[in-house]
């Protein structure tokens, strides 16, 4: 009885944690792209470039190459 209730509690805790983590991930995607994950899925996952970043065509040949860390963030 104690073992069953312990296992059920662990499973419930896991499910709640997983749901909350997904909500946070979706919110982060929204903050980064301005679109919900559902909108990105309908659009084929292709997001528009950020307004503040120059496109590759706009950059001159003298511009330094963009470096990114393992998370995809631009590093100066």
Residue-wise pLDDT for 29-48, tens only, equals 999 998 888 888 887 755 45
Please check whether residue 65 lies inside any domain of the structure: no
Please check whether residue 6 lies inside any domain of the structure: yes
Please check whether residue 24 lies inside any domain of the structure: yes
Range of the domain at 10: 1-45
Please check whether residue 74 lies inside any domain of the structure: no
Please check whether residue 62 lies inside any domain of the structure: no
Give me Rg for the CA atoms of the chain: 20
Query: Which pLDDT score is estimated for 41?
Result: 85
CB 34 within 8 A of CB 40: no
Higher pLDDT, 49 or 5: 5
Please check whether residue 11 lies inside any domain of the structure: yes
Per-residue pLDDT band for 65 (boundaries 50, 70, 90) equals confident
CB 47 within 8 A of CB 33: yes
Per-residue pLDDT band for 22 (boundaries 50, 70, 90) equals very high
Please check whether residue 73 lies inside any domain of the structure: no
Please check whether residue 3 lies inside any domain of the structure: yes
- Domain count across the chain: 1
């Amino acid at each position: 009885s104690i073992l069953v209730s312990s296992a059920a509690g662990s499973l419930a805790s896991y499910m709640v944690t997983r749901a909350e983590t997904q909500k946070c991930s979706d919110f982060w995607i929204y903050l980064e792209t301005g679109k919900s994950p559902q909108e990105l899925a309908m659009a084929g996952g292709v997001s528009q470039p950020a307004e503040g970043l120059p496109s590759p065509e706009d950059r001159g040949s003298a511009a330094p190459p963009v470096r990114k860390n393992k998370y995809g963030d631009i590093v100066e």
